[in-house]
Amino acid sequence: MNKQVGNSQLMQQMNRLKVLDFIRRHPDVSRPCIAENTGLSLASITNTTSYLLDLGLIYECGVEKVGRVGRKSVLLRFCATKYDLICIYISEKYINIAYTDLEGKTKERIKIESENLSIEETMAELKENVLSLVKRYDRERILGIGIAISGLVLDDNKFVMSSRLKWKSFDIKKSLEQATNIPVFVDNVSRTKAVWYFCRKNIDTKDNMLFVDMENGIGAVQFFDGIISRSTLGEIGHTTVERNGEPCFCGNTGCLEAMCSPHRLLSLYESVSGEKTSSIAELDKLYKNDDKDAIYAISECGRYLGIGLANLVNLFNPSVMVINTGDFEGCPSLIKEAEQELHRRAYPTLTQKLSIKQTQETEDNIIYGTAFNLCDRLFDISYNKNIVE
C-alpha cells in the first residue's frame, strides 16, 4: 500500500513538473493546448494547474483571441517574479553577477574585473559579492545560484579545467555552496548560450543543430530532436588539428583553439609583416584591401577553424550550424575563410543541405540562459529540494 501511494505521489509530482515546464517554455497557453502536447487528460491538467496557481508559480493572463464560436479558453503564464535567482558568468576578464527573477530579468548587477586574479582571489570576490546580495534581498526568495563558465564541467557539478581562465581541477560548486548555503549549479557557458539561442529563435525541433561558440576558446553543443546534449561535444577546442602546432594550456600542442585564436591571428600578421596592428577588426580591413600579410594570417587561422568545423559536420551531420562569432566578431573574413575550408573538407553529401548561421551572444543573453538552465535544474524531478511536491 505504501509503495502504491509513493508511486502515485511520484507520478503526480512528475505531471506537475511536466505541466509547469510546458507553461514556462510556452507563455500564454491554454489548458486544452497543454493537454494536447503533454498527453495528460484535460481533467488532470485542470487539477494540476489549480495546484500550480495556488503555489503562485503560474497565473491566468487573459483569454484566447480566436474567432470560433463558444467559450474561449483561459491562457496561462509562468510567474517569473514568484522567486529569485543569482546568475553568474565568469569570463576571462570579468565576473558578472546578476540578481534576477526566474526568467533572468535583472534586478541588480555587479561586474568585477578579474583578469589578473588567481582562483583564490576570484572566489573571494565572488563570495563577498554574492553574500552582499543575499543580505540585501529576501533569502527565502532565492531558489538557487547558477554559474556559466568557460571550460570543462563534469557531472553538472564539478568544474575541472579552463584554458582561458587558467584554472585546473577546482570545485567551484562546493566552495560557493559552503559559503552561501544556497544550491549551486555550474554549466559550460557554450551550452548556456546554445540553450538561450535555441529558446528565443524557436528552432525547428526536428533540426539536428550544432552551436559553435568562438568566445573564450572554442566550444560546440549539439541539439537533436529539440534535446540538447548535457555537455559540450568533447571540448572541440582541445581536439588536435596540427601535430606540431602551438602549445595549449591543456598541455597538448596544436589544439584547435590554440591554432585559431585572436592572439595567434595577430602574432601571425606581425611575424610576416613586421608590423603590429591594434585589433583583429583592423586586420580584417587590411584583408579586404588585399594586404597580402593580412590575407595570409586570416587564411591560416581560418583554415584551421574550417578543419575543426568540417570534423564536426562529418561526425554529427547537422542540418543547421550556428556560429557565435564571439572573439572574432570584428573579423568576418576569418569566418568566411573557415566556411570555405569546411566545404572543401567535409563530405559533400553532408554539406548540400547544411545551413550555416551566425550570431553574437551578449552578456545579457548568457544571464538569461543561465536563469533558464537553473530553472531546468530546480524544477527537475531529480532535485531533492523541489518546491513542487
**Dihedral angle over CA of 323, 328, 331, 333, nearest 10:** -40
What confidence tier does 4 reach under pLDDT thresholds 50, 70, 90? low
DSSP string, 11-65: HHHHHHHHHHHHHHHSSSEEHHHHHHHH---HHHHHHHHHHHHHHTSEEEEEE--
What confidence tier does 161 reach under pLDDT thresholds 50, 70, 90? low
pLDDT: is 378 or 232 the higher one?
378
The pLDDT tens digits of the residues spanning 221-237 come to 988 776 766 555 557 88
Cell of 58: 503560474
pLDDT: is 250 or 305 the higher one?
305
pLDDT for residue 1: 44
For the chain, list the domains and their CATH numbers.
2-78 (1.10.10.10), 84-192+364-378 (3.30.420.40), 202-361 (3.30.420.40)
The pLDDT tens digits of the residues spanning 107-133 come to 999 999 988 888 888 889 999 999 999
Residue 143 has pLDDT above 60, yes or no: yes
pLDDT for residue 2: 56
pTM for the predicted model, two decimal places = 0.89
User: How many Cα atoms within 13 Å fall on the side-chain side of residue 161?
Assistant: 10
Residue 44 has pLDDT above 70, yes or no: yes
Of 237, 256, 244, which Cα lies nearest the Cα of 161? 237
